[in-house]
Amino acid sequence: MFLMKIILASASPRRSMLLQQLGLEFSVVPSQGEEKKDKELPPQDLAKKLAYQKAWEVAQGIDEDCLVIGADTIVVLAGQVLGKPEDARQAQQMLTCLSGKTHQVMTGLALINRQSKQAITHCEVTEVKMRDILPQEINAYIATGEPLDKAGAYGIQGKGAIFVERIQGCYSNVVGLPLHQLAILLSDLGVPIL
């Protein structure tokens, strides 16, 4: 039986909710460092690097044996990385660009076992097709405030779902934590889910 403490290095309520679905007991210790985005890296490598930075930062600040889970989600359209919008204007630009197009949602995962110093990283990719979104719909959606703390300026688990025509791949990845892949990585580290 796995007795090591599990720590989620994220303040995201969506990630906490998803991790709770697995029935694991965990603590939340958000990373505080600024994300260092390397524009030279391919998007999948960038997502993994950002997730690792978060997990590593938190692992370094904890004295007890633990397993730290870091995650970072980015939206990629035609090779361009879309992070969280800085303001309503940027959210409008992002949603206008995503309208009628297919993009990728990439979540980097990093698991660090503080005791053994073992680290595992992975990037999950889901294809998302947006329907054509009318300008007035974009403005009304931004007025809800929902897009302002989400990569790509939309939340599939909220009102933003009305813009998603279809997805190919893992739904929970688009929310922010690919549960099937996380379960595989946890199993590789000796953490039973079932």
Active site positions, annotated = 72
Backbone angles phi, psi at 34, to 5 degrees: -75, 135
Nearest to 178 by CA among 131, 121, 94: 121
CA dihedral 77, 79, 85, 91 (to 10 degrees): -30
Query: What Å distances lie between residue 8 and 2, 29, 166, CA to CA?
Result: 16, 6, 29
Residues 6+ apart with CB under 8 A from 81: 37, 39, 43, 46, 74, 75
Report how far residue 21's alpha carbon sits from residue 133's, in angstroms, rounded to the nearest whole number: 32
Q: Could you give the CA distance from residue 87 to residue 85 in angstroms, rounded to a whole number?
A: 6
The 3-state DSSP class for residue 18 equals helix
Angle at 76 between CA 70 and CA 77, to 5 degrees: 170
Q: Which amino acid is at 100?
A: G
